[in-house]
Structure 1
């Protein structure tokens, strides 16, 4: 069952977190609806405080911290920095992430002015790269639309040219101990469709009752424009990690919003999250992968596959059908989509 409406305050600024209770109807039964609408709660209950906010302009690279975020139809943003608006791919357009190139988490990526992306990394010269707001050519950008793939799902993107490709390839490929046969060129692509993309949601809609046909995203792995984690859940995970020689921070999980206050994993039962005037609908738990084992400070994977190994012992999805759908991955953090009435255009 889902929790009653919840209310949150952030840094003294009016903000809210909310969830609704669906009495007498199972969570999975609701997934059999066809056209889905989601009435918002009429009441909200306080649960905690937003403790940190960040966006990740380039997928798998470092995040940009924020005091406030704008909720858009397909992503969160801080000023000019839109969450997951860029990503790294191989020459075939397949996503390249910290799962296979863990040093990517050491790359600072920030849009410093309109149409200008700045990249820095340890022992690398800074790179500033112009990018277009549409499909026009620029000197740095080839202006070529690519067919790319994120975990088997096709997306459209614009190739950002050879200069940044050489920079990324040098840092992520040649300055590593990768075998010669795996030293392949990588490229940077840009999400040039400002309204986001609606991927093929047929399978997700079958299994996720609170996903909508209209949900859109940038280069996010899954349905959901916002990743949210609670400090209480993180503290409980670190308790489970005692004796492993490992501890983790929120950065291992790359959330947009971190919440303090409340009980561990209370977020499992939230449906609607209200922060300020923005309302996010929870569409699914965020199941965790090998990327959580990458040390965000060192860019190296944990040899014992922690915290993933510990999470698998106690944080799997309870429903067996859903557990199979999520490939038996453990859950931590949840993913939300903006409700249209709350979006700032």
Structure 2
């Protein structure tokens, strides 16, 4: 029997994650995951791909949806959703969606940190965005995550990858939401439907990896791995694969709960 080994949310897309022992699963992902995002002056999303210093932004969740943000050489910043926020169009990959504009203080803070014009926005209504309809149903929804509500990885696959690299890397390079302990390396390639605790998920698409995985999630510094080794051992066509995208099988009005240590079960595989 395998179990849920760890669980993580990223309240601000591309900022540092938070480790959790328990989390609510909503139809669009773990509660509070990637509901905030940075955009440029055109409204297009910003990420560690071009702004690796976002890895140095730590986030602490407080009551009422308030977030406390820290970064090296920066004063603490607090942000929170507001009922009367101004909605603006923003773009995540090919998706355009309305989001609530953050405060001027937040724009200034991130502009100073990154050295560019940046605005913080909040997805006040998570039902606005659909996942890729090639892999999802019309009723499915997703937050500001790249494509799907949750990302699953396994410790067995990390061990298999680390075995072909000169220096091992931690799991946080891959920014998963749920990590399953122990399955044989790459077993998740064959999963199509799984249960974690009380929640069932569809396994809809492998996760193709980008330069963010080469970014140290403490310092923002970059190196060649793991993309170099993924290119040798996990190349599928033009994509380098690590992890699987999940969609919860939950009605739009229902939520479930996950806890570290919950049992994991493969319901369907190929």
TM-score (normalised: structure 1): 0.71
* Alpha-carbon offset, residue 196 of structure 1: 4.8
> Paired residue for 1:118, among 68, 73, 77?
68
What value does the CA root-mean-square deviation take over the aligned residues?
1.7
Residues 234 and 241, structure 2, Cα contact 8 Å, conserved in 1: yes
SS at match of 1:236: helix
**Cross-structure match for 2:162:** 238
Unaligned runs of 5+ in 1: 1-45, 137-142, 174-183, 318-322
Shift of 1:341: 5.2
The SS at the match of 1:69 is strand
Any residues of structure 2 matched to 1:256-275 within 5 Å, and which?
256-275=177-196
Distance in 2 (alpha carbons) for counterparts of 1:69 and 1:267: 22
Is 1:310 the counterpart of 2:235? The answer is: no
Structure possessing the higher relative contact order (Cα contacts under 8 Å, 6 or more residues apart)? 2
Q: Does 1:57 align with 2:30?
A: no
1:166 aligned counterpart, secondary structure: helix
Helix, strand or coil for the counterpart of 1:237?
A: helix
* Paired residue total: 255
Give the structure 1 partner of residue 38 of structure 2: 88
> Taking structure 2 as the reference length, what is the TM-score of the superposition?
0.89
The whole-number CA distance in structure 2 between the counterparts of 1:167 and 1:85 is 18
- Rounded to whole Å, the distance in 2 between the matches of 1:266 and 1:104 is 32
Residue 102 of structure 1 is matched in structure 2 by 52
Q: Deviations over 1:204-262 (max 9, x none)?
A: 41xx4xx222221010111x2111110110011111112xxx43111000001111112
Pairing partner for 2:138 from 190, 213, 216: 213
Which has a greater percent of strand?
Answer: 2
Gapped runs of 5+ residues in structure 2?
257-270
1:253 correspondence with 2:174: yes
Answering whether residue 215 of structure 2 is matched by residue 294 of structure 1, we say: yes
Deviations 1:252-282 (A, max 9, x none): 0000111111200101111112112111111
User: Deviation of residue 169 (structure 1)?
Assistant: 1.0
- Shift in Å, 1:153: 2.0
The alpha-carbon deviation at position 197 of structure 1 amounts to 1.9
